[in-house]
């Protein structure tokens, strides 16, 4: 993403973590959004009780902090080509990772419920597997946005003699294994501070913000309308659960086949939470609203 410009953002929501937080599903810690301890090479989700409809067309699998360079990762579902970051599709729905680091691939999750099994297989240890749905904001943010690099983890003091001292509790996210967070292969990933985005969105239709009613049904009595409340606020519990944030959903990923050391474009990602206590929409015309959000990098 050139010069860290924000275009139309994308939110990757961890559906399994939400199901676990609501007591519906028991999951291994590796299925939380935050990279944790390294798991064993194979795992099967006990998906008894997964409600039909939580996985839909815009579903994704993200594998964070893996060392499966040249190896394979597998999810027993139908992958699509909408999102493909370091994740070529091989035989039997196996994801082939070109370089170490992280991989993201979209899939069609329509029909996934407790009658079938979601299983993952990877050829080497991995820090986090995120399975869920992604949501694209219907409009780009206003020009009055900001990106902040927070260094509140650094505490500075001055002694009686006037000498300056500095202690850093943190200066960046922790590494995922021996690589920086969101690093791919040996491509350098300089990291400094905690990123915070302040974003405003104008002239959003009411149908893009809230459901028709809180049963979640459309006028044709179908479940799962594509709106901000149902797809983001609901599944993050208003900021309680983290999500993967992509400031520009249209950023390119380019990898040169046969030369995995050459990656000339990498989309920007961050694990974030909402840094706000309430979400307000302001009506500016009949059925049209403005909203503001604050997204803070989290670890």
What's the confidence (pLDDT) of residue 220?
47
44 domain-assigned: yes
> Nearest-CA neighbor of 173 among 197, 146, 150?
150
Distance CA 27, CA 51 (A): 15
Domain count across the chain = 1
159 domain-assigned: no
160 domain-assigned: no
152 domain-assigned: no
167 domain-assigned: no
CB atoms inside a 10 Å sphere around CB 99: 20
150 domain-assigned: no
Cβ-contact 34, 83 below 8 angstroms? no
- In the block, tokens 């000498």 appear at 163
Q: Answer yes or no: pTM beyond 0.85.
A: yes
What's the confidence (pLDDT) of residue 193?
94
What's the confidence (pLDDT) of residue 257?
53
Domain limits for position 37: 2-143+174-297
156 domain-assigned: no
Distance CA 224, CA 86 (A): 29
Per-block mean pLDDT, blocks of 10 residues, the chain (299 long) = 74 94 84 80 62 83 79 64 83 77 87 64 78 93 90 92 91 91 87 94 93 64 72 94 95 66 76 95 94 95
What's the confidence (pLDDT) of residue 100?
87
What's the confidence (pLDDT) of residue 214?
74
Kindly state the helix (H) or strand (E) to which residue 291 belongs, with its residue range: strand 288-297
Distance CA 80, CA 20 (A): 26
231 domain-assigned: yes
What's the confidence (pLDDT) of residue 109?
80
């Amino acid at each position: 993403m050139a010069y860290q410009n924000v275009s139309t953002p994308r939110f990757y929501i961890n559906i399994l973590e939400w199901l676990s937080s609501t007591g519906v599903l028991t999951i291994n810690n590796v299925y939380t959004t935050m990279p944790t301890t390294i798991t064993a090479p194979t795992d099967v989700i006990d998906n008894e009780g997964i409600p039909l409809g939580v996985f839909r067309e815009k579903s994704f699998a993200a594998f964070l902090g893996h060392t499966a360079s040249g190896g394979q990762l597998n999810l027993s579902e139908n992958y699509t080509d909408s999102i493909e970051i370091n994740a070529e599709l091989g035989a039997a729905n196996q994801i082939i990772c070109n370089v170490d680091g992280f991989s993201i691939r979209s899939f069609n999750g329509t029909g996934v419920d407790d009658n079938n099994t979601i299983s993952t297989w990877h050829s080497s240890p991995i820090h986090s597997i995120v399975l869920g749905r992604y949501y694209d904001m219907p409009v780009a943010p206003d020009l009055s946005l900001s990106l902040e690099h927070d260094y509140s983890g650094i505490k500075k003091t001055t002694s009686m003699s006037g000498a300056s001292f500095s202690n850093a509790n943190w200066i960046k996210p922790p590494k995922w294994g021996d690589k920086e967070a969101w690093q791919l292969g040996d491509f350098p990933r300089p990291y400094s501070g905690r990123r915070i985005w302040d974003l405003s969105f104008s002239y959003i239709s009411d149908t893009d913000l809230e459901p028709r009613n809180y049963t979640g049904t459309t006028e044709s009595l179908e479940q799962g309308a594509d709106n901000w409340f149902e797809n983001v606020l609901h599944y993050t519990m208003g900021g309680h659960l983290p999500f993967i944030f992509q400031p520009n959903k249209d950023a390119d990923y380019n990898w040169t086949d046969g030369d995995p050391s050459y990656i000339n474009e990498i989309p920007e990602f961050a694990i974030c939470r909402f840094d706000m206590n309430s979400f307000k929409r302001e009506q500016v015309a009949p059925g049209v609203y403005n909203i503001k959000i604050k997204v803070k990098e989290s670890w």
